[in-house]
Structure 1
Amino acid sequence: MNQTEHKRDVFVAIADPTRRKLIRILADGDELPLHELTAQFKMGRTAVSKHLTILKEADLVTNRKAGRETRYKLNPAPLQEVKDWLSFYEKFWNERALLLKNILEE
């Protein structure tokens, strides 16, 4: 990585609803150019491109040049960190729900 590049936290990257929507669109497995992604939003190419840059800095998106366009693809591997973090809370709430169920049945 050069000095202008830095690794962005995956939680920061997914905090924005626009970026979550971009992840969802790219989750279909298709490699899409910027103009097709931009068509999904009520914002310009520059704004969508900035969101894609943040996702790229978190390694959630890869891109490659194909002629004159840049094509983007989801890299879901960093989402494992989010899944691992959430799994603790899933266990926590499942235990609480079971405890509540037992109390209500008594």
Structure 2
Amino acid sequence: MPRALFAARLVQARELRGLSQRALGDRMGLGKDKGSSRINRYEHQVTAVGFDNLDVLAKTLEVPAAYLLAESPEMADAILALAQVNRSQQADLAEVIKRLSTEPELLDQLRALVNPKSGP
């Protein structure tokens, strides 16, 4: 299952950047033919990605490596959102998330602020 999640996230990130498998492989420095084959093998779960290539993939796609490994779409979205703010804001948001997970009434209040019609 983790390989399938990674493969799906890789396709999503690649398409988000408007890159073909060939273009992504080339940008990673693998060359067009070898790169295309390698990306195809990752996306079809034939080959697992190593940590070094994971880092290169993430940097090439301009996403955090954690995004490619996220266990759910919601977690992936949260990782991307955190990556778009500065470190100070990341620290603040991490603290908010911790509080929201331990104080359900705060989460209900936040939901009401974000979407007043839905309620808790």
Q: If the length of structure 2 is used for normalisation, what is the TM-score?
A: 0.29
* Structure showing the higher helix proportion among its residues: 2
The structure showing larger relative contact order (alpha-carbon pairs under 8 Å, at least 6 residues apart) is: 1
Q: If the length of structure 1 is used for normalisation, what is the TM-score?
A: 0.31
